[in-house]
Amino acid sequence: MVSFTSLLITVTAGAGAFAAPPSNATEGLGLLRARAGTPSATGTSNGFYYSWWTDGAADATYTNGAAGQYSIQWSGNAGNLVGGKGWNPGNNNRVISYTGTYTPNGNSYLAIYGWTRSPLIEYYVVESYGSYNPSSAASAKGTVTCNGASYTILQTTRVNQPSIDGTQTFEQYWSVRNPKKNPGGTISGTVDVSCHFQAWAAVGMNLGTQHNYQIVATEGYQSSGSSTISVSEGGSSGGGSPTSSTPPAQSSTPSTGGTAAHWGQCGGQGWSGPTVCEAGYTCTTLNAYYSQCL
């Protein structure tokens, strides 16, 4: 068992898998020397907010670096952990860039990760992942193209699970990049959160009115790996322009016969594709810009 008697940080009790700890403003986790079993903590480091949570089952170390950099190493193929750097509060319009290395072995995500209140919502924009695709366990709502990449939109309900407000039942929103950025080495990208948030709203997935934190997180579950990521605000992926003034273009591969498939777009301002859904589905107007086969 690792002793933590010499740690110079404030420890917090936090949320579990797909969650994170309540805010606890401490300064200087970067002073923490690398050791097995870094306990859960939140605070600020070099102008960035950080959040680190572990259930204690993994041999996991979190270290803050300069500016927006952080590093996580974990092993043991046990337990759950999530941590990263970003901002608190988050907002609806931030363009987030990240660069570094991400080498998971097993179940892990690299994602923009955050929470809102009123209502309580946990959200992910997954850029890369290890052996498990999170879209396989949630309800698909559609697709969206942001910064030149395609993402699957998903939603699931977490019942009596840890959250920033203790044990709660809440919705979980996802955008999962398809295809994912390849793990196992150098990785970088840019995410315009407004593109995803508008796409979610277009399919009825509304965030809360009060943002809590918004970070670039590494998560591991019963796995091992390492991640060293530098986070910054602004930038461009070079793969297309973010959409911020109107809901982003969404699409689903139409079925044959000129009809739109389930979850496919079937109308909206400027839409020139099929306006009839395949059998069993109805073209439903979600807003002036987007109708979908539901």
Residue 242, number of CB atoms within 10 A of its CB: 19
Among all chains, which residue has been given the structure tokens 């990240």?
98
Catalytic residue among 27, 171, 219, 278: 219
Question: Which conformational region is residue 66 in: left (phi greater than 0), alpha (psi within -120 to 50 degrees), or beta?
Answer: beta
Task: Give me the sheet containing 283-287, strands edge to edge.
Answer: 265-267, 290-293, 283-287
Q: In the numeric block, which tokens belong to residue 82?
A: 């999530």
Task: Specify the pairing of strand 41-45 against strand 48-54.
Answer: antiparallel
User: Which of 148, 214, 139 has the alpha carbon at shortest distance from 177?
Assistant: 148
Neighbours of 282 (CB within 10 A): 10
Ramachandran quadrant class, 193 (left: phi over 0; alpha: psi -120 to 50; beta: rest): alpha
**Positive or negative: CA dihedral 7, 12, 16, 22:** negative
Does 122 participate in catalysis according to the annotation? yes
Residue from 18, 15, 54 nearest 37 by CA = 54
Beta-carbon neighbour count of residue 169 at 10 Å?
11
> CA-to-CA distance for 42 and 11, rounded, in angstroms?
8
Which residues have CB under 8 Å from 279's CB, separation 6+? Answer: none
Residue 130 in contact with residue 182, Cβ under 8 Å? no
Set 27, 122, 171, 233: catalytic member = 122
Are 164 and 115 in contact by the 8 Å Cβ rule? The answer is: yes
Task: Catalogue the active-site residues.
Answer: 122, 219
